[in-house]
């Protein structure tokens, strides 16, 4: 690499954020090493998310455990022990910091998907379905399979979390690592589309493999921005619009560093023909 030592994986985390010239230095990096770096990015993202779950989500679930009624699932159908005359719908738990809310909707779920709650995560328990709504607008729905039966007694959730805490943390890390690795790989491939356009426009001497290396390293600044938004939202409750379109911000930041890196790469020197020599050059 132009006579300079190859940056280490960890030094690349900083250099890829502070210097476009760094991308000119690592353009010759083997693709295998770039995938190792991609794995490092996925590990860091998974660690950040796991720490977030440990310090933010699990304590809220512990608090909610004492406020939840006994919930029974029998053959895929949910029933809840409620007082006589109490409605079969309502909020079971609402975190004061607006991180987690748990709603019960056994009699109606028509407006559930469209209703905004203003909480980071809202879990809605319906008669046949569990619905998780994020404040960004994303909705995940899971139908309970027939034959599935489970009873969650009051405070049982807290006891379960305390008993299986490290298994829960390990599973969160493993699943989030796999998710982030696939997501970052797909994002890097997506970046190659505008990257090819910039590559041709700037007339840089590259191959698709070298462009892929640049795309992988360009994910670093966006990854750190995503971590920052995650923790800022936990502390200050960021606007829902910002969270809904944070993937656009993620792509925009990655693309900015990719284009900056392509510009920093020196263009190829034109090959001069012998016949193009000046008269003086031919004489001497």
- In tens, the pLDDT along 110-137 reads 555 556 567 778 888 777 788 888 777 7
So what's the pLDDT on residue 5? 65
**Distance, CA of 76 to CA of 149 (rounded, Å):** 7
Residue 60 in domain: no
Query: Residues in the chain, how many?
Result: 284
Q: Are 46 and 183 contained in the same domain? A: yes
Q: Are 179 and 259 contained in the same domain? A: yes
Q: Are 34 and 73 contained in the same domain? A: no
283 pLDDT band, cuts 50/70/90, is very low
E strand map for the chain? 71-74, 77-80, 89-94, 100-105, 121-126, 129-134, 139-143, 150-152
**Distance, CA of 140 to CA of 131 (rounded, Å):** 6
When the pLDDT of each residue in the chain is averaged and rounded to a whole number, the result is 80
Q: Are 95 and 147 contained in the same domain? A: yes
Residue 2 in domain: no
Q: Are 222 and 250 in contact (CB under 8 A)?
A: yes
Q: For the segment 215-236, what is each residue's pLDDT rounded down to a tens digit?
A: 999 999 999 998 888 878 777 6
Q: Are 131 and 207 contained in the same domain? A: no
Mean pLDDT of 183-205: 90
Residue whose structure tokens are 């797909």: 186
Residue 221 in domain: yes
Pairing of strands 71-74, 77-80: antiparallel
So what's the pLDDT on residue 17? 92
Q: For the segment 78-115, what is each residue's pLDDT rounded down to a tens digit?
A: 777 665 444 556 777 777 767 788 887 766 555 555 56
So what's the pLDDT on residue 279? 44
Residue 186 in domain: yes
**Domains in the chain, number:** 2
So what's the pLDDT on residue 85? 47
Q: Are 189 and 243 contained in the same domain? A: yes
Chosen domain end from 154, 189, 221: 154
Domain carrying residue 231: 9-50+168-264
Residue 272 in domain: no
Mean pLDDT of 168-173: 94
Residue 116 in domain: yes
**Distance, CA of 3 to CA of 28 (rounded, Å):** 12
End-to-end CA distance of the chain: 34
**Distance, CA of 136 to CA of 115 (rounded, Å):** 13
**Distance, CA of 64 to CA of 110 (rounded, Å):** 25
Share of the chain above pLDDT 90, in %: 31
pLDDT beyond 90 at 46: yes
Q: Are 71 and 149 contained in the same domain? A: yes
Q: Are 230 and 184 contained in the same domain? A: yes
Chosen domain end from 105, 121, 154: 154
Residue 275 in domain: no
Q: Are 31 and 74 contained in the same domain? A: no
Q: For the segment 247-260, what is each residue's pLDDT rounded down to a tens digit?
A: 888 999 999 999 99
Pairing of strands 121-126, 100-105: parallel
Q: Are 205 and 228 contained in the same domain? A: yes
Q: DSSP 3-state assignment of 176?
A: helix
So what's the pLDDT on residue 284? 45
> Alpha helices of 203-239 — where are they, by DSSP H?
208-217, 219-236
Tokens of 69: 């009624």
Residue 197 in domain: yes
Chosen domain end from 109, 132, 154: 154
pLDDT beyond 70 at 19: yes
Q: What angle is formed at CA 11 by the lines to CA 8 and CA 14, rounded to 5 degrees? A: 150
Q: Are 178 and 43 contained in the same domain? A: yes
So what's the pLDDT on residue 37? 95
Beta bridge partners of 105: 89, 126
213 pLDDT band, cuts 50/70/90, is very high
């Amino acid at each position: 690499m132009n006579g300079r030592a190859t940056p280490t994986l960890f030094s690349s985390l900083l250099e890829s954020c502070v210097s476009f010239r760094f991308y000119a230095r690592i353009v010759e990096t083997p693709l295998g090493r770039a995938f190792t770096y991609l794995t490092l990015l996925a590990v860091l993202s998974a660690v950040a998310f796991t720490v977030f779950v440990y310090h933010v989500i699990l304590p809220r679930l512990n608090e909610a455990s004492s406020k939840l009624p006994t919930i029974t699932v029998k053959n895929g159908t949910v029933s809840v022990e409620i007082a006589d005359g109490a409605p079969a719908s309502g909020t079971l738990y609402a975190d004061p910091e607006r991180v987690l809310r748990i709603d019960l909707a056994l009699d109606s779920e028509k407006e559930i998907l469209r209703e905004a709650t203003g909480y980071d995560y809202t879990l809605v328990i319906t008669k046949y379905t569990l619905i998780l709504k994020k404040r960004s607008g994303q909705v995940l729905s899971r139908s309970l399979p027939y034959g599935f039966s489970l009873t969650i007694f009051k405070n049982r959730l807290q006891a379960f979390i305390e008993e299986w805490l490290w298994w829960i943390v390990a599973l969160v890390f493993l699943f989030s690592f796999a998710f982030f690795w696939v997501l970052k790989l797909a994002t890097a491939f997506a970046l190659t589309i505008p990257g090819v356009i910039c590559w041709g426009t700037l007339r840089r001497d590259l191959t698709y493999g070298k462009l892929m290396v640049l795309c992988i390293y360009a994910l670093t600044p966006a990854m750190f921005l995503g971590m920052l938004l995650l923790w800022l939202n936990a502390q200050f409750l960021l606007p829902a619009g910002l969270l809904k379109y944070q993937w656009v911000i993620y792509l925009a930041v990655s693309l900015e560093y990719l284009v900056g890196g392509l510009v920093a790469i020196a263009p190829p020197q034109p090959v001069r023909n012998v016949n193009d020599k000046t008269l003086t050059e031919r004489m001497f």
